[in-house]
Structure 1
Amino acid sequence: MTSPLVQRMQPFGTSIFAEMTQRAVAADAVNLGQGAPDSGTPPELIEWAHEAMLEGRNQYPPFWDVPALREAVAAHQGRFHGLAVDPAQVLVTVGATEALTASILALVEPGEEVVVIEPAYDSYAAAVASGVAGAAGAAGSGAGPRDAGGGVLRPHRDGGGQHPAQPDRCAESEPSDVAPLQRR
């Protein structure tokens, strides 16, 4: 018997990052697709990691990670973006894919639809499928979120905070023009 998880995830295969890394290796090219330096690890970083391990910092961090890191992230958002962020509201993840998947799993109920504006980060569709939600893509020329009718897609919030995952609540900036959604 095939697992439903495996079946619904089969269309996704590997990420674009894995594919581009394989192509770069095959062509003996520099991979500019992600942060994968082709130089050795700086000696200072090796020394820092060694010292941290000797001090016992070699286990999983506390459940809410390291408070000083969350405070630094919140301070960065204030300094560079003018945002007042409570460090208690900061969640540090290993990368974008983990953060996106965790967000979708936490905010979208099974069966709900998620609007994915194309072109999109290649992990969006897999993250949506992992949560058993449906994807509705706002497709166009590939120029970005303005190409599906000329406006910018944004959640339409009239009357008490409708759920932004409902495609019929997603309207363009011009209230009279709603972007067509392409069901997948």
Structure 2
Amino acid sequence: MKTGIAGIGGIGSNVARHLAQSGVKEIKIVDFDAVEASNLNRQFYCFSQVGLKKTDCLEKNLKALFPGMGIETVEKKIKPGDAKQIFSDCDIVVEGFDNKILKKMLIEELCGTGKILVSASGIAGDNMENITTRKMGNCHIVGDFMSDQEDHALFAPKVTMIAAVMAGIVLRHIKEKSHD
């Protein structure tokens, strides 16, 4: 089973880290951005990687954890109409965008494909007590469903906690599929 990750910032890079630490054999990571120093408190990158492409850096960091992981990198900004083609070879897709419009677009484009979708909603602020998971069809959404980045600062422990829950959902689906 191949897992795709759309956006490899705080959520996406940490989901990928958990998958590598768990021995997941195949992922596809998609992003267009560079590593920024201001994000290092919550993203799986190093200070020495600031200014470099996220896809290259994350691949290197994941290979350091699990050299046997097959990692396909796609350096691209996902636009409307792209998701089905980009993730056509993936069974599971993790949404790691920090933009509500892109989140909605990805979910809408992939909802009828039969792929498992794992998304986040409400990752800002420091209240970690209200984190829950909702399932709608083939989509699993993790977060507090209230706190928006526009209204609250991002709190590294909350971001990484939500990413860990999302990785757990992916790992459960991989395990179930391997028993089929």
The two structures have a TM-score, normalised by structure 2, of 0.28
Q: Give the structure, 1 or 2, with the largest relative contact order (CA under 8 Å, sep 6 or more).
A: 2
Structure (1/2) with the larger strand percentage: 2
Structure having the higher Rg:
1
